[in-house]
Amino acid sequence: MELYNYIKSLHLIFVITWFAGLFYIVRLFVYHAEAKQKQEPEQSILIKQYQLMQYRLWYIITWPSAILASFFAYWMLFFTDAGQIWLTQPWMHVKLGFVFLLYLYHLKCHQIFLQLQKDEVKHTSGFFRLWNEGATIILFAVVFLVILKNAVNWIYGVIGIILFSVLLMFGYKFYKKIREKNQ
């Protein structure tokens, strides 16, 4: 049981650093898209710095954290008694579905990262702000599932975060209108 707690602790640490990387990389995407609107030489200076920051974050923190979180999760699920029991429970199936969505989200972020490394900005800063909410929704869903261990009650938490995200977006749009009006 003591080994299991170490594995679980390491899994949680790397899940936290993985999400930190995902949250921050998209924030850097926002800044990169906004830098594209600047005049030279400011644009080139900012973009070069953001590309360096993105590269370091992505390959030194985010990818290693994703791999290690997955490694320790696999270990817990397939090489511990608790994991064998969890795999038979419906809430774990739903959780693994959200983990799959997280991998897809991560891979899409990787695709965007590669585009931005070539300075191909295909999305607006507003898109990236909205895109950042995807990881938040997945995080809320997984946390509620793990804590409540119920395949239905997590829905209330996810609905709450979606409504909160919508309110944030309205707040952002309102703030943007005020900021543009005062310029």
Q: Which residues of the chain have pLDDT under 50?
A: none
Residue 36 assigned to a binding site: no
The pTM is what? Answer: 0.86
Domain of residue 80: give its range: 2-181
Helix spans in the chain (H): 2-35, 42-56, 63-79, 81-86, 90-117, 125-148, 154-181
In this structure, what DSSP letter does residue 60 have?
Answer: I
Residue 25 identity? I
Contact 34, 121 (CB under 8 A): no
Residue 11 assigned to a binding site: yes
- Which 3 state secondary structure label does DSSP give 87? coil
Count of C-beta atoms within a 10 Å radius of residue 113? 22
Tally of structural domains, the chain: 1
* Residue owning tokens 């290690």: 68
pLDDT at residue 18 in the model = 98
Query: What confidence tens digit (pLDDT) does each residue in 21-57 have?
Result: 999 999 999 999 999 999 999 999 999 999 999 999 9
